[in-house]
Amino acid sequence: MSERSERIDQHRAGAVIFDFFGTLSESASARERHAGHERVAAVLGVPVEVYADAVRGSWPDRARGRLGDLEATMRWLARACGVEPDDETCAAACAARRSTQSGYVRLRPDAAPTLRALKQRGVRVGLVSDCTHELPACWPTLPVAGYVDAPVFSVEVGVKKPDPAIYLLVCERLGVAPEDCVYVGDGDSNELPGAEAVGMRALRLIAPDHVDAHVIDPISWSGRSITALGDVLALNEPDGPQVFSR
Ligand SMILES: [Mg+2]
């Protein structure tokens, strides 16, 4: 056993950091995302392909909050599609966007029970999500919110994964060192190598809904994986995954 792995194995997980889309929440399929784009594009009166291209191309800026609030972002997208919506049209497009985005929030059945069990075991819980304004807006209403000590949303903090700053920020808010954290995600946004680069131990969640999922960056990961969120509860058990053990 190497010096580094001995050091890791002497640790217990002080915190578990979760991704949101595709991890605590089921993935939305590429087809579903396209249908969402069709709704907004129809309101704006632009071709869906043009709108979808504008959405895709602006993701790094939208995820960092650089295009302003939802209304300002919608006006930016409309202009990128060659139209200038009036206030009523813009409001209707924002409403369509909110509605489609809220449809992508589908918590896995074991999400809240797993987070609750972690809290009961004294493990701190964090969230790091690359997202736009809609997720932090609905976050307080979600049944997992009460179990998350530090939710970090890219759109609010101005950085996204895999920038080390976003992982270090959640650690700072949790009061834990990266080396004492396990990071769990489906792997989009190069989040797993990003987590390991700051010293966290990363686990990829592999779930059936990932097969048709819309992903932004191709996922390549040969590290450890789990097939259910509840698997993280075994992390500190003697016979659990060899990430942290007594
Ligand atoms: Mg994800």
Residues 164 and 84 grouped into a single domain = no
Q: Which residues contact 109 (CB under 8 A, 6 or more apart)?
A: none
How far apart are alpha carbons 178 and 15 in whole angstroms? 9
CATH code of the domain containing 130 = 3.40.50.1000
Name the pairing type of β-strands 15-18 and 150-153: unpaired
Q: Are residues 116 and 61 in the same domain?
A: no
CA of 112 to the centre of ligand 1 (A): 17
Do 219 and 98 have their domain in common? no
In whole angstroms, give the CA distance from residue 17 to residue 148.
Answer: 9
Same domain, 74 and 132: no
Ligand 1 center to 187 CA (angstroms) = 6
Task: Flag whether 3 is in a domain.
Answer: no
pTM of the model: 0.90
Q: How far is the CA of 225 from the centre of ligand 1 (A)?
A: 14
As given in the structure block, the two tokens for residue 232 are: 């993280």
Residue 74 resides in a domain: yes
Residue at which a domain ends, from 82, 103, 124: 103
Query: Tens place of pLDDT for every residue, the chain, 246 residues?
Result: 344 443 444 456 789 999 999 999 999 998 999 999 999 999 999 999 999 999 999 999 999 999 999 999 999 999 999 999 999 999 999 999 999 999 999 999 999 999 999 999 999 999 999 999 999 999 999 999 999 999 999 999 999 999 999 999 999 999 999 999 999 999 999 999 999 999 999 999 999 888 887 777 777 888 999 999 999 998 766 655 544 433
Residues 121 and 208 in one domain: yes
Contact 58, 79 (CB under 8 A): no
The secondary structure of residue 169, as a DSSP letter, is H
Q: Is 5 within the bounds of a domain?
A: no
Residues 94 and 85 sit within 8 Å (Cβ to Cβ) = no
| Pairing state between β 181-185 and 15-18 | parallel
**If you measure from the C-alpha of residue 96 to the centroid of ligand 1, how many angstroms do you get, rounded to a whole number?**
22
**What single letter denotes the amino acid at residue 30?**
A
**Gap from CA of 205 to ligand 1 centroid (Å):** 9
In this prediction, residue 101 carries a pLDDT of 95
Residue 51: per-residue pLDDT: 98
Q: What distance in angstroms lies between residue 19's CA and the mean position of ligand 1's atoms? A: 6
Same domain, yes or no: 130 and 178: yes
Q: Report how far ligand 1's centroid is from the alpha carbon of 214 (Å).
A: 10
Residue 213 placed within a domain: yes
Q: 141, exposed or middle or buried, with CB in 10 Å at 0-12, 13-18, 19+?
A: exposed
Q: Ligand 1 mean position to 191 CA, how many Å?
A: 8
Distance 135 CA to ligand 1 centre (A): 13
Residue 2 falls within a domain, yes or no? no
Report if residue 244 sits inside a domain. Answer: no
State which residues form the domain around 166. Answer: 15-27+106-236
The CA 23 to ligand 1 mean position distance, Å, reads 6
If asked whether residues 162 and 139 sit together in one domain, one would say yes
- Report how far ligand 1's centroid is from the alpha carbon of 66 (Å): 21
Q: Do 136 and 21 reside in the same domain of the chain?
A: yes
Q: Where does the chain show beta strands of DSSP type E?
A: 15-18, 124-129, 150-153, 181-185, 201-205, 225-226
Residue 98 domain-assigned (yes or no): yes
Domain boundary at 103, 126, 150, which? 103
Q: How close is the Cα of 202 to the center of ligand 1, in Å?
A: 13
Assess if residue 23 is contained within a domain.
yes
Count Cβ atoms within 10 A of the Cβ of residue 84 and give its class: 0-12 exposed, 13-18 middle, 19 or more buried. Answer: exposed
The single residue listed with the structure tokens 């813009």 is 90
Quote the ligand 1 centre to 29 CA distance (angstroms): 12
Question: Which of 80, 103, 126 corresponds to the end of one domain?
Answer: 103
Q: State the number of CA atoms in the 13 A half-sphere of 143 facing the CB.
A: 13
Residues 127 and 89 in one domain: no
Q: Give residue 188 CA to ligand 1 midpoint distance, Å.
A: 5
Q: How many domains does the chain have?
A: 2
**Residues 93, 109: Cα–Cα separation, whole Å:** 31
Q: What is the CA radius of gyration of the chain?
A: 19
Distance 83 CA to ligand 1 centre (A): 32
Q: Are 23 and 205 in contact (CB under 8 A)?
A: yes
C-alpha 36, offset from chain centre: 19
Asked if 231 and 112 sit in the same domain, the reply is: yes
Same domain, 131 and 83: no
Residues 179 and 127 in one domain: yes
